[in-house]
Amino acid sequence: MATTAPPAESTTVWTKEDAKASRKANNKLHRREHAWAAAFMAPPVIGWIAFLLFPLGFSVYASLTNWNGIGNMTFIGLDNYTRLLQDQYFWKALWNTVFYMIGIPIGLALSLALALALSRKIRGRTFFRTVYYIPVISSLAAVAILWQWAYNGDFGLVNQALGLIGIEGPNWLMDKDWAKPALIIMAVWKGLGYSTLLYLAAVQAVPRSLYEAAALDGASSWKRFTKITWPMVQPVTFFLVVTNIIAGSMIFTEINIMTPTGGPEWSTASLVWYVWNQAFRNLQMGYATAMALVLGILVLIVTVIQFRINRANDFSID
Amino acid sequence: MRKFRTAAITATMVGALTLAACSGGTGGDTSGSPEPDTAGGDAPNELTFMFRGGEYDKIAYEAAIEKFEEETGASVTMIITDADQYATKLQAAIAGNKVPDVFYIEPGKMMGYVYADVLADLTEYVPQETIDNIWSFGTDAYRFNTETGARGDSADPLYGLPKDVGPFGFGYNTVLFDALGLEHPSADEPLTFDEFVALCQELTQSDKLDYETWGTGLNVVWNSQAFIWGAGADWISEDQKTVTVDTPEFAEALQWFADLGLVEGVTPSAEQAQTLDTYQRWMAGEIGFFPVAPWDIATYNSVAEENPDKFGYDVIPYPVANEGDDWSTWLGSLGIAVSENSKNKELAAQLATYLSTDLDAQKILAENKVQIPNLIDYATGEWIETDAPAAGWPANTKAFLEIAEEKGRPLPGVWTYTPEWYDNFWVNITRVVDTGDQSAADFLAEVQPQMQQLLDQSWISADQAKANG
């Protein structure tokens, strides 16, 4: 602390009392500064404790109890966790949830393609951007009901459209093999606008000089895409992959609306749907919480791996 | 430090999104209005009543509550929620210690609520003559012995009164019978399975009329119970502790049910039923026999009015395996309960009784075909003789009363702590009834141990809930 050191060439004698008084004044000043700093930091910290740390701690404890969601809790150790290891429906729901992730690369590929198309100066560009973004701002419940109708085997829009090109579509939501793909298609459609918007911003931010230099060197369009565009939009891809995996792991609303009993032979039941059923229909809140925490941990692990992979592939343009 | 920061950011991201997802519920409340305060009233005459329902429920209860407020000086706040969000909201209200004074309760969830001391014992508050004038199923569904876990015994404490009882009846298309020159089935005597199949074969025609018709088209999840029971089989033992689906009678009845479509061909095929469900085909006049319940009456009447050349209907008993067997079907109910922690428990019990038995409210609900009356004297007297025919209830409405009085049984999962064991029965049922990939006997042998395991788990959970309090 420079201010507390005695003046180097001063003739005044720097006594212990002086040093003490100076420290006291400085401490007082620091205390006030600390108080203000604490006051500014408090709201987010309190919010984090109240809305994240406390619920998380509560959830961890609840998962170790046989709580039914309305009565008292009794500690039962790891019983809920050993139970879920033997629960065939937990594994089936987990598999279904993982299966839904197939939609993520499909959605990203389509979004990037659309973003590249919409970044060009084509007629009706604003109109198309609006059209693709409308599903994002539409209510998921309403969208799910519309798609439920669209998937009707006989009169649904999807099969009628397929019929125009001579394809006899399946009975989407009633067929155990087609119900999951049907939900994936809907999810891709719903999220397309959001991903496209982010990709569009990323594509437009790529310096034109890079493309010009590559063109001068004789790089083909494909080379320019793979060597310039794709690496430059990688942060957006990373962000979308991470958030889509987190969001995809919690797929619930569309399943509950479109296949309220978990689909034919439980083919659409996701883990969050199963958690919800156990918690609110079967009064097994403790068990449901254990499953939710396992899902959370799995997502956390996947996300950390993604961060590591991303760091390894990180690059910058100097 | 960097690792910690990365981990913290990741954890926060996952956590925040998890919480965001959880708050989404079943599709979200799009109204944007603040959540109503569900807590019970504080002042001596204040009550809150939380319920779900349609327009006519609201009209009926508003009228009943207005009268109740005049008579008692009480002030009742009504909280109405969407049907699909009611159970979740009630559970959240209970967890948040904001239990309304009076609220709807499903009989299947009652045990957990009683063990958690959420429901008040109404036995001492409801006069015996009032109980005697309600269908016994309607009160027995809300009786529960906390010591033994037994349900439905009229000697046990009463934790709710019926909002309604819902008889799941059976009906036939009178117009289709006439068009094909068939004799109408008896309104009193049940058909045997063989007679039923024979009639269904007569009704399944592709060339006699200018549209294709079928004998029946029954959804196995909701419509097979009466046939299984009609063959003397059941899902569960009387003490609710053993799953009994692995009996020869059960296998025979389920196979017979599956064969209606797979062998006899008297139902639309699985593909046909999936593309236009049998409910729609029934209302289009294409199906001979189909379930009829009170909540369908208003819709069926308007369809019959719009399309009298193809659709008309009446109610009959469910078929049984052999002549002389007793028929039965399932009877649903929704209850009205009182909070154990209500500051005005007696007044709340009075309100619950009022909502369940007020004659004017019952008249509004029955006139608008929402439900049959809860009051036996009114239902079996003035209503069945004059009010029901005048309001457009079907000719054989007395079959509904018969179900309410003696033929009705609860759905198998309703009287156990959780219905998971029963739900499990339906997961792979399509293999038996739609595709025929598995015989009923094989399916039942496979599913029984899984169901038993879940039923045992249900009893363990009940015991834990009881111990937890």
Residue-wise pLDDT tens digits, A118-140: 988 888 888 888 899 999 999 99
So what's the ipTM on this one? 0.77
Residue B260 confidence (pLDDT) above 80: yes
User: Which of A153, A262, A299 lies at the smallest CB-CB distance from B274?
Assistant: A153
Cα separation, B18 vs A218, in Å, equals: 48
Is B10 at the interface with chain A, CB within 8 A?
yes
Q: Which two tokens stand for residue B111?
A: 């045990």
Q: What is the pLDDT of residue A153?
A: 77
* Ranges A303-307, B88-92, B229-233, most confident: B229-233
A139 and B28 in contact by Cβ < 8 A?
Answer: yes
- For chain B, the C-alpha Rg in angstroms (whole number) is 24
Is A300 at the interface with chain B, CB within 8 A?
yes
Cα separation, B379 vs B134, in Å, equals: 10
A141 and B467 in contact by Cβ < 8 A?
Answer: no
Is B96 at the interface with chain A, CB within 8 A?
no
Contact B451, B443 (CB under 8 A): no
Residue B275 confidence (pLDDT) above 50: yes
Q: Least CA distance to B431: which residue of chain A?
A: A265
A68 and B112 in contact by Cβ < 8 A?
Answer: yes
> What secondary structure does DSSP assign to B421-467, as a single string?
HHHHHHTTTHHHHTS--S-HHHHHHHHHHHHHHHHHHHHHHHHHHHH
Residue-wise pLDDT tens digits, B208-229: 899 999 999 999 999 999 999 9
All residues at 6 or more sequence positions from A163 whose CB lies less than 8 Å from its CB, including other chains: A169
Domain A80-312 carries which CATH code?
1.10.3720.10
- Closest chain B C-alpha to A133 CA, distance in angstroms: 20
What residues in B contact A250, CB-CB < 8 Å? 17-18, 21
Q: What is the pLDDT of residue A109?
A: 96
Minimal CA–CA distance to A111: which of A184, A180, A189, A185?
A189
Q: How many CB atoms lie within 10 A of CB A10?
A: 8
Residue A72 confidence (pLDDT) above 90: no
Is B85 at the interface with chain A, CB within 8 A?
no
Is A6 at the interface with chain B, CB within 8 A?
no
Return the domain boundaries, chain B.
46-166+332-409, 169-329+417-468
Is B83 at the interface with chain A, CB within 8 A?
no
| pLDDT band, residue A191 (cuts 50/70/90) | very high
Is B421 at the interface with chain A, CB within 8 A?
no
Q: Which two tokens stand for residue B307?
A: 């399309």
* Residue matched to tokens 């045992």: B456
Minimal CA–CA distance to B401: which of B417, B367, B418, B377?
B377
A257 and B27 in contact by Cβ < 8 A?
Answer: yes
DSSP helix/strand/coil, B243? strand
Q: What is the pLDDT of residue A17?
A: 78
B19 and A140 in contact by Cβ < 8 A?
Answer: no
All residues at 6 or more sequence positions from B281 whose CB lies less than 8 Å from its CB, including other chains: B214, B217, B268, B273, B287
The average pLDDT across B355-366 equals 91
Helices and strands in chain A, H and E counts: 16, 0
Nearest-10 Cα torsion for B35, B36, B39, B45: 170
Architecture of domain B46-166+332-409: 3-Layer(aba) Sandwich (3.40)
Give the count of Cβ contacts less than 8 A between chain A and B: 134
A283 and B461 in contact by Cβ < 8 A?
Answer: yes
| pLDDT band, residue B9 (cuts 50/70/90) | very low
- Closest chain A C-alpha to B87 CA, distance in angstroms: 8
Q: Least CA distance to B455: which residue of chain A?
A: A282
All residues at 6 or more sequence positions from B254 whose CB lies less than 8 Å from its CB, including other chains: B224, B228, B432, B440, B443, B444
Q: What is the pLDDT of residue A26?
A: 74
Minimal CA–CA distance to B228: which of B189, B194, B255?
B255
* Residue matched to tokens 């891809």: A237
Residue B13 confidence (pLDDT) above 60: no
Q: What is the pLDDT of residue A29?
A: 79
B276 and A155 in contact by Cβ < 8 A?
Answer: yes
Cα separation, B417 vs B112, in Å, equals: 7
How many percent of chain B have pLDDT more than 70? 91
Burial class of B262 by CB neighbour count within 10 A (0 to 12, 13 to 18, 19+): middle
Q: Which helix (H) or strand (E) holds A85?
A: helix A79-86
A70 and B112 in contact by Cβ < 8 A?
Answer: yes
Burial class of B168 by CB neighbour count within 10 A (0 to 12, 13 to 18, 19+): buried
B21 and A303 in contact by Cβ < 8 A?
Answer: no
Is B115 at the interface with chain A, CB within 8 A?
yes
Contact B81, B89 (CB under 8 A): yes
- Closest chain B C-alpha to A11 CA, distance in angstroms: 46
**Same topology between domain B46-166+332-409 and domain B169-329+417-468:** yes
Q: Which helix (H) or strand (E) holds B289?
A: strand B287-292
The average pLDDT across B404-411 equals 96
Q: Which residue has the higher pLDDT, A153 or A95?
A: A95
- Closest chain B C-alpha to A122 CA, distance in angstroms: 37
Instruction: Decide the pairing of beta strands B329-338 and B161-167.
Output: antiparallel
A262 and B427 in contact by Cβ < 8 A?
Answer: yes
How many percent of chain B have pLDDT more than 90? 74
In the stretch 132-151 of chain A, residues with CB closer than 8 A to chain B read: 139-141, 144
Burial class of B228 by CB neighbour count within 10 A (0 to 12, 13 to 18, 19+): buried
Residue-wise pLDDT tens digits, B27-39: 333 334 456 677 7
> What secondary structure does DSSP assign to A133-178, as a single string?
HHHHHS-HHHHHHHHHHHT-TTT-HHHHHHHHTT-----GGGSTTT
Is A265 at the interface with chain B, CB within 8 A?
yes
- Closest chain B C-alpha to A143 CA, distance in angstroms: 10
B17 and A243 in contact by Cβ < 8 A?
Answer: yes
What residues in B contact A262, CB-CB < 8 Å? 427
What residues in B contact A92, CB-CB < 8 Å? none
B18 and A296 in contact by Cβ < 8 A?
Answer: yes
Q: What is the pLDDT of residue A30?
A: 85
What residues in B contact A265, CB-CB < 8 Å? 427-428, 430-431
In a mutagenesis test of the A interface, which of B2, B4, B10 is the best target, namely the one with the most A β-carbons within 10 Å? B10
| pLDDT band, residue A190 (cuts 50/70/90) | very high
Cα separation, A207 vs A15, in Å, equals: 64
B461 and A72 in contact by Cβ < 8 A?
Answer: no
The average pLDDT across A286-310 equals 94
Q: What is the pLDDT of residue A315?
A: 63
- Closest chain A C-alpha to B117 CA, distance in angstroms: 8
* Residues A80, A81, A86: CA angle, nearest 5 degrees: 95
- Closest chain B C-alpha to A74 CA, distance in angstroms: 6
Q: What is the pLDDT of residue A19?
A: 77
Architecture of domain B169-329+417-468: 3-Layer(aba) Sandwich (3.40)
Phi (first) and psi of residue B439, to 5 degrees: -75, 155
What residues in A contact B423, CB-CB < 8 Å? 261
Nearest-10 Cα torsion for A259, A260, A265, A267: 50
Cα separation, B406 vs B404, in Å, equals: 6
Q: Least CA distance to A308: which residue of chain B?
A: B6
What residues in A contact B17, CB-CB < 8 Å? 243, 246-247, 250
A74 and B17 in contact by Cβ < 8 A?
Answer: no
Which amino acid belongs to residue B233? Answer: A
| pLDDT band, residue B271 (cuts 50/70/90) | low
Cα separation, B202 vs B216, in Å, equals: 11
A252 and B24 in contact by Cβ < 8 A?
Answer: yes
What residues in A contact B221, CB-CB < 8 Å? 261
Cα separation, B426 vs B442, in Å, equals: 14
Is B276 at the interface with chain A, CB within 8 A?
yes
DSSP 8-state assignment for residue B408: E
> What secondary structure does DSSP assign to B351-395, as a single string?
HHHHHHH-HHHHHHHHHTTS---SBHHHIIIIIIIIIHHHHT--T
The average pLDDT across B362-371 equals 90
Residue-wise pLDDT tens digits, B62-77: 888 998 999 999 999 9
- Closest chain B C-alpha to A202 CA, distance in angstroms: 22
What residues in A contact B461, CB-CB < 8 Å? 66, 68, 283-284
| pLDDT band, residue B387 (cuts 50/70/90) | very high
| pLDDT band, residue A310 (cuts 50/70/90) | confident
In the stretch 157-196 of chain A, residues with CB closer than 8 A to chain B read: 171, 174, 176
The helix, strand and coil proportions of chain B, stated in percent and rounded to the nearest 5, come to 50, 15, 35
